[in-house]
Amino acid sequence: MIGSESLLAIQILGRVRATLGDVEIELGPPKQRAVLALLALQPGHPVSLAEVTAALWEGKPPSSASHLVHTYVARLRQALDSGMPRRQRTNVIGSVPGGYRLTIAEQRIDLQAFRHLAHQATVLRESKQPEHAFLMLGQALAKWEDPQLEDLFALLPQRDEVRLIRQELINATLDYISLGLETGRATSVLSVAERLSEMEPLNEMVQARCLQTLARTGQRVVAMERYAVLRGRLQVELGVDPSPELEAAYREVLDGSGSVGGAVESGSAPDRTWRGRGPVIDGLLGRAEDTRQLVRLLDRHRMVTLTGPPGVGKSALALTVADATRHRYSDGVIVVDLSTARTRQDVLRACAHAFGLPRSRDCEPWMLTEYLDGHQLLLVLDDTELALDDTAALIDDTLRANPGVVVLVTSRELLGMPYEAVYQVRPLAVDAEIPADPAGRPPEPALQLFARRAAQVRPGFRLGPSTWEMVATICRQLDGLPLAIELAAACMRTDTLPELVARLADPLREIRPTRRGGPSHHGSLRAAMYRSFALLDATEQRCFASLGALAEDFCAEAAAAVAREIAGEQWNMPYLLDRLVDKSVLEVYDGTGGRRYRMLATVRALAREMLDRFGYADRALTVRSCRNGCDCLDARAPKLAEYYLIS
């Protein structure tokens, strides 16, 4: 016959309870449960009545304390041996002179079972079997139902053992994490390390292990962030500096020996050659010379910015150049998409994301520069124009702190940094002259691009004598901008070439085929152009709109005359025009009569639309020529609206 003792189990590493097989035994009120817990802390050892009363009443026992303890013990005995015939009762709680003793196989108490397994793990570890030790310690830790031991603390608040037992758990968990890191199981022990770190926020040993685990699972920035917070707390709350152990762990994080370039475990290791958006899928047309020049610029400069009008191909070219030079950088290329970044945190988060790090709520620039520490890589910051100040600050920090990093930027506006090399990306050229024998020479890249994209939506479309001229007209009217050409070609799914040519009278409204897969501002020609308008401040916007009343090509005097007349403003026109040039909505060049400006037809379409927005369209333009007498004022109708917006 099996006695009840052989089935009885007592748990104190969670809710204090006793079970008989699968059945939980009703242990009675808290003080009664506390008696059992106290005895279970030292099984096989006598516990005096005085000790029990002291533990139960925290040193202030009532006069009836002895009597109450006897009653608790009697009831516990009854409960633990419940259902057993008298002869088979085990007397789990035996009486000894002046006290009691719990008589139960040690393995039947979870604390003792834990200690036994933990000891075995230590033996295995000492005999150089870390894998087995890890598994054994895992079994030991599984005995802990509540790492905080809340119930036990509540029942026996004065007992130092409870605190020591909790410390045993912390030590065992630390050993478990160390074994996990030692045996390449950082990912498996991460959640354990995180839980322990929450339990022990100021325990430097615990935090050191957690930092190492985070770093080895590729979360270096999170580890840095945690360290910064912890260092602050240690100084403010405890008035101490980080311990050598914590410092050593942090150094490991910084060295990267636990992350990029080091021991990041397989499965979490990032691709070190290229991260982020890749180069154009079907190759660039007509950019061989640009690519060569940019590769040379990257030889000499640590920061190169590609600037130019909307959709001219800055991003595509930057990625091609990055691809051509990636072999120079032992840690490869990281491409950061900043097309939607507007704030400092947006910029930092986009970088953290591109680096393959988890998004962090309070990412700081130093975390990124420390992440890049010791790395040799090309950092491509793409479409940065909405967050220039914050991007500039990040670049400055990065280049100063990371000598192995080279930055390639694309932006409609240059950043204006002292060491920035600026490369102006021009639209694809389209000859004014149609060749007499088109078949005798290869089409220009702009035409090739149109034909390539048109053939994708209209199989069989080819450039030939019947199509060449119209395609050239389309490309020219779209200023040779690859984005505009692609969008127009996509309209060939439903349009004939003459219909498409007709649409170009109002390109911003008419050229809007379905487009996915690129940045959101490439959804339509208008979206691409409007992004530039949004970059202008209020005065620049008005000035830009007023320029819509001019010919495509004009001088500063003409611009000033128009501004006076239709906007009623005496702006500092050369300065404003320079700002618009910087923002790539205007081009400056040296003409025969001096400095002149040119606006792309697609950009001018937006300026003309904006004439209306600012109420300029109702104004009459009486000036007919500027002081230079050049032909830049060509509005001959009494009202601008009649000339530009209706015709």
Binding region for ligand ATP (CB under 6 A): 280, 284-287, 308, 310-316, 383, 410, 412, 449, 482-483, 486, 518, 521, 528
Residue 4 touches which of Mg ion, ligand ATP, none (CB < 5 to 8 A by kind)? none
* Cβ distance to ligand ATP smaller for residue 311 or 513: 311
From residue 306 to residue 325, what is the string marking binding to Mg ion with x (rule CB under 5 A)? --------xx----------
* Cβ distance to ligand ATP smaller for residue 226 or 521: 521
Contact between 41 and 21 under an 8 Å Cβ cutoff? The reply is: no
Residue 220 token pair: 């270096």
How far is C-alpha 290 from the geometric centre of its chain's CA atoms? 32
Residue 287 touches which of Mg ion, ligand ATP, none (CB < 5 to 8 A by kind)? ligand ATP
Residue 110 touches which of Mg ion, ligand ATP, none (CB < 5 to 8 A by kind)? none
User: Least separation, in Å, of the C-beta of 311 and Mg ion?
Assistant: 8
Contact between 76 and 23 under an 8 Å Cβ cutoff? The reply is: no
User: Tokens 């009854």 label which residue?
Assistant: 78
Order of strands, sheet of 553-554, starting from the edge strand that comes earlier in the sequence:
553-554, 594-598, 587-591
User: Least separation, in Å, of the C-beta of 489 and ligand ATP?
Assistant: 11
| Neighbouring-strand partners of residue 422 | 305
Q: String of b and e for 1-11 (b: at least 16 CB within 10 Å)? A: eeebbeebbbb
Among residues 520, 526, 492, 489, the alpha carbon closest in space to that of 507 is found at 526
Based on DSSP, count helices (H) and strands (E) in the chain, helices before strands. 28, 15
* Cβ distance to ligand ATP smaller for residue 256 or 310: 310
* Cβ distance to ligand ATP smaller for residue 151 or 382: 382
Residue 312 touches which of Mg ion, ligand ATP, none (CB < 5 to 8 A by kind)? ligand ATP
* Cβ distance to ligand ATP smaller for residue 249 or 350: 350
Whole-angstrom Cα distance, residue 183 to residue 490? 55
Q: Give me the residue whose beta carbon is nearest to ligand ATP.
A: 313
User: Least separation, in Å, of the C-beta of 142 and ligand ATP?
Assistant: 54
DSSP class of residue 609 equals H
- What is the H or E stretch that residue 100 is in? strand 99-102
Residue 526 touches which of Mg ion, ligand ATP, none (CB < 5 to 8 A by kind)? none
Angle at 634 between CA 630 and CA 635, to 5 degrees: 145
* Cβ distance to ligand ATP smaller for residue 280 or 457: 280
In angstroms, the Cα distances linking 348 to 163, 242, 352, 363, 398 are 43, 27, 6, 6, 12
DSSP string, 148-210: T-HHHHHHSTT-HHHHHHHHHHHHHHHHHHHHHHHTT-HHHHHHHHHHHHHH-TT-HHHHHHH
* Cβ distance to ligand ATP smaller for residue 61 or 311: 311
User: Least separation, in Å, of the C-beta of 456 and ligand ATP?
Assistant: 12
Backbone angles phi, psi at 377, to 5 degrees: -155, 165
* Cβ distance to Mg ion smaller for residue 151 or 383: 383
Residue 100 token pair: 């009691």
| Neighbouring-strand partners of residue 594 | 591
* Cβ distance to ligand ATP smaller for residue 331 or 337: 337
User: Tokens 């003459």 label which residue?
Assistant: 498
Site for Mg ion in 374-433 (CB under 5 A): 383
Q: HSE on the CB side for 98, CA within 13 Å? A: 6
Residue 370 touches which of Mg ion, ligand ATP, none (CB < 5 to 8 A by kind)? none
* Cβ distance to ligand ATP smaller for residue 130 or 518: 518
User: Least separation, in Å, of the C-beta of 337 and ligand ATP?
Assistant: 10
* Cβ distance to ligand ATP smaller for residue 311 or 507: 311
User: Least separation, in Å, of the C-beta of 310 and ligand ATP?
Assistant: 5
User: Least separation, in Å, of the C-beta of 612 and ligand ATP?
Assistant: 24
* Cβ distance to Mg ion smaller for residue 259 or 411: 411
User: Least separation, in Å, of the C-beta of 507 and ligand ATP?
Assistant: 15
Q: Tell me: does residue 448 bind Mg ion (CB under 5 A).
A: no
User: Least separation, in Å, of the C-beta of 425 and ligand ATP?
Assistant: 7
Whole-angstrom Cα distance, residue 111 to residue 10? 9
* Cβ distance to Mg ion smaller for residue 186 or 409: 409
User: Least separation, in Å, of the C-beta of 481 and ligand ATP?
Assistant: 8
User: Least separation, in Å, of the C-beta of 290 and ligand ATP?
Assistant: 8
Residue 579 touches which of ligand ATP, Mg ion, none (CB < 5 to 8 A by kind)? none
CB atoms within 10 A of CB 520: 10
User: Least separation, in Å, of the C-beta of 383 and Mg ion?
Assistant: 4
User: Least separation, in Å, of the C-beta of 575 and Mg ion?
Assistant: 27
* Cβ distance to Mg ion smaller for residue 256 or 313: 313
User: Tokens 């149109």 label which residue?
Assistant: 450
Q: Give me the residue whose beta carbon is nearest to Mg ion.
A: 315
Q: HSE on the CB side for 510, CA within 13 Å? A: 18
User: Tokens 């905080």 label which residue?
Assistant: 148
Residues in Cβ contact with 587 at an 8 Å cutoff, skipping those fewer than 6 apart:
581, 597, 598, 599, 600
Contact between 331 and 261 under an 8 Å Cβ cutoff? The reply is: yes
User: Least separation, in Å, of the C-beta of 419 and Mg ion?
Assistant: 22
Order of strands, sheet of 99-102, starting from the edge strand that comes earlier in the sequence:
47-48, 99-102, 93-96
User: Tokens 């240690």 label which residue?
Assistant: 234
Q: Tell me how far apart the 2 most distant CA atoms of the chain are, in Å.
A: 124
Residue 121 token pair: 């793990």
* Site size toward Mg ion, by CB under 5 A: 3
Query: Where on the chain is the footprint of Mg ion (CB under 5 A)?
Result: 314-315, 383
